[in-house]
Amino acid sequence: MNAHLPEGKALVVVPTYNERDNIEALVRELAALEPGVDVLVVDDGSPDGTADAVERLAPSLPRRIILMCRSGKFGLGVAYTDAYRWILLHAPGYGLVLQMDADFSHDPHMIPLLMARAEAYGLAVGSRYVQGGATPDWDHRRFLLSHVGNIYARLVLRLFFPSYLIKDSTAGFAAFRRDVLDTVMRHPIYGDGYAYQTSIKLVAFRLGYPAIEVPIVFRDRRLGVSKLNRHIVFEAFIMPWKLGWRFRKSDPSQSGR
């Protein structure tokens, strides 16, 4: 789609499943950003017509909009892995690669700041749990589930890697410099959902790219249904231990720098 347009400086990866209510508005907002960013939508065969909406919208926009359609619901982790591998193989012009949710939980206007931080540090994470970050739409139960879960993940991972300090390991709003993403994707990334987010940050950390955390205000989705389920929560609880043992066993001498 929009193949005749020149590549922008950055490509934003947006995984989708039944996000028709949000995707058109989000893609329009991303396409209007300065500096310009292009968009890669990775759709898991949404029955609500998400992919069709993107396909119809793309020709009217001033940025490159790329649609990757998959035949089934394979999950968030596989969506990001497939997208990153495609970018590294087939889209050499992008110096920065970002990831974000499709439901406006992540503010598109934070993207220029994440891009600047990623250029400087290699990996920038939009963090809810550093000073200045917030989750104003959450009730106490959801805040405790997420915040305590991130504290738990950090404490477990520090048993294996004492200098691991990321406060929002499960954050899904992030920007990678291309060379960092290329290096990270040469290693196994485990899990799906929250666990995948923790895994990719830990791999980057162990390769010498600790994330710089940028405070964000995280909002509840505007429309549609949350994809959070018990499997994702359980996996996020177990995965820090699995990651610690796997990575420590595979290379016990490397614990980040």
In a domain, 190, yes or no: yes
Whether 84 contacts 97, CB under 8 Å: yes
Predicted TM-score (pTM) of the model is 0.89
* Whether 256 contacts 208, CB under 8 Å: yes
Tell me the β-bridge partners of 249. none
**How confident is the prediction for the chain on average, in pLDDT?**
88
Is position 4 within any domain? no
**Digit-coded pLDDT (tens) for 91-116:** 999 999 999 999 999 999 999 999 99
- Between residues 254 and 236, the one the model is more confident about: 236
Cα gap 47→171, rounded to integer Å: 27
Residue 245 maps to a domain: yes
What is the span of the domain harbouring residue 213? 10-250
DSSP state of 257: -
- Could you tell me if residue 5 is inside a domain? no
Cβ-in-10-Å burial (0-12, 13-18, 19+) of 109 comes to: exposed
What CATH number does residue 211 fall under? 3.90.550.10
In a domain, 201, yes or no: yes
Quick check: 256 pLDDT over 50?
Answer: no
Query: Residue 1 falls within a domain, yes or no?
Result: no
- Which residues, including other chains, have CB under 8 Å from residue 116's CB and lie 6 or more apart? none
> What token pair was written down for 24?
């058109």
Asked if residue 124 is part of any domain, the answer here is yes
Number of structural domains (the chain) is 1
Q: What value does the mean pLDDT take over residues 40-58?
A: 96
Element (H, E) at 33: none
In a domain, 101, yes or no: yes
d(CA 165, CA 146) in angstroms, rounded, equals: 17
In sequence order, the 6+-apart residues with CB closer than 8 A to the CB of 250 are none
Q: What is the per-residue pLDDT for 2?
A: 66
